[in-house]
Structure 1
Amino acid sequence: MFQRDYFMRMIQQMTEVVGQMMALRQEKKQEEALLAIDELLSRQFRLNGKLLRSLSDEDIIRMMTVRGVVETTNLHAIALLMKEEAQLLEELDETDQSYLVRVKALHLFIRLALLEAEPLLRTPSEEAGELAAKLGEYELPQATKALLLLWHEAEGRYDQAENVLDELLMDGLMAPEQADEFYGRLLLLTDEKLFAGGLPRDEVIEGQRRLVGNAAIKQQTELFRAE
């Protein structure tokens, strides 16, 4: 009962915060809005924006974990506040800081989606999708791409998962064995599920064959260079 009451209070609080941020942005009071976020982080979680920017998403999750259980309500609230902070920084032309905060918020929302956390204002996946779209013009870090791959696969967007996998392979950031495991998992699914995920079985098989062919070419190239 207590947990449900806390969850409902947090929904109300985040609704009010988002409304407050929108009002302050309309009044061109971005600095004031950033201070309001810092005050809420300090009051509610004993954190601040500067500290959050210095922590990894794994660190933040560890801080929000009690007896092995992630406090997803608190984590979701923090992710929402970071999302708002990123938007405010962007409006202040602090593009580098905005990018870093937005990437971290994306990580948190993806992890919440993978944990199947309850939504506050929207589902974690909806929030992650919005942030991923905003970051679409950037070359994302390896860790972000790895999370995107997990998230797309978990949500049944197999075509998008394969796109991220191809990027990781091209950048030399994923071992062919890991990619082969991805295709192996997909081949265990039904034709209907694969088709719904945008990657029919024949394309999965073709992707796996392409992977084997690329590995063979790489091996031959290395042998040639060794001679």
Structure 2
Amino acid sequence: MFQRDYMMRMIEQVTAAIGQVMGLRQRKEHIEALKMIGDVFDRGLRLQSRLVHTLSDEDLVKLLTTNGVPDTVSLQAIALMLREEGGIREDQGAETESYACRIKSLALHIRLTALDAEESLSDPAKEAEAMLDKLRGYELPPSLKLLIAQWRERQGRYDEAENWLHERLEDGSAGAGEAAAFYERLLQLPDDRLVAGGLPRAEVEHGLADIREQGVL
């Protein structure tokens, strides 16, 4: 009961805060909007703002996991607050800060999809799609490319998973062994799933053969 009451209070507080932050942003009251976001971190989540920005998305998940159970409501709150901060920083012309907030927001939302988190504050998958679109045209960190590739594979969007795999092969963050394992996993799937995922069996076989022909396996 206590845990549910806590979650409901958190949902109400964050939902109200998002609405207020959006209003402040529309009125270009950026300092006040950032202060409100900081208050959500400091008072609502009991996490110092500095810690939220310093820790990686993976470390935030670990920090907010107790006895193997992640606090997905708090993680959603952090991801949404970072989304809002990213927009405010963009309005201020602070591209580096905006990029950092959006990268972490995207990573957290993707991790929430992997945790099958309930849509307590928003739909993590839709939020991830929207944030990925915002970051289109930017070079993403290798760790995030891996998260996206894994997410696309879980979604059954195999052609997109392959595209991200190729990006990682090009930047050196993935090796031929990982690529071969990807294609071998897909070959275990029925033809209809491969076709639906945009990567028919013939293309999967070609991808695996191409990796093997490089002579590094």
TM normalised by structure 2 equals: 0.94
Bigger-Rg structure (1/2): 1
Instruction: Give the CA deviation at 1:199.
Output: 1.1
Deviation at 1:206, TM superposition (A): 1.3
Aligned residue runs from structure 1 range 51-70, under 5 A:
51-70=51-70
* Deviation readout 1:3-40 (Å, 9 max, x if unpaired): 44443433333321221111111111011000001011
Q: Distance in 1 between matches of 2:175 and 2:109?
A: 26
**Correspondence for 1:73:** 73
Shift of 1:50: 2.5
Distance in 2 between residues matched to 1:168 and 1:130, nearest whole Å? 22
Structure 2 unaligned regions, length at least 5: none
Secondary structure at 2:173's aligned position in 1?
Answer: coil
Structure-2 residue corresponding to 1:154: 154
Structure 1: which amino acid aligns with 2:118? E
Match for 1:18: what amino acid? I
Moved over 6 A (4+): none
Alignment partner, residue 173 of structure 2: 173
C-alpha contact 1:152 1:160 (8 A) present in aligned 2: yes
TM-score by length of 1: 0.90
Q: Quote the RMSD (CA, aligned, Å).
A: 1.6
Identity %: 46
Q: How big is each residue's C-alpha offset from its partner over 1:142-175, in whole Å with a ceiling of 9 and x where there is no partner?
A: 1010111111111111111000001111222211
CA offset digits 1:124-156 (Å, max 9, x no partner): 111111111111111111101011111111111
Map residues 1-227 of structure 1 onto 2, 5 A cutoff.
Answer: 1-213=1-213, 215-216=214-215
What is the deviation of 1:121? 3.4
The one-character-per-residue Cα deviations of 1:80-130 (angstroms, maximum 9, x if unpaired) are: 111111111111111101111111111111111111101123211111111
Count of residues paired in the alignment: 217
Give the match's secondary structure for 1:119: coil
Query: Is the contact made by 1:39 and 1:48 (CA closer than 8 Å) also made in structure 2?
Result: no
What is the Cα deviation at residue 181 of structure 1?
0.6
Structure 1: gaps of 5 or more residues: 220-227
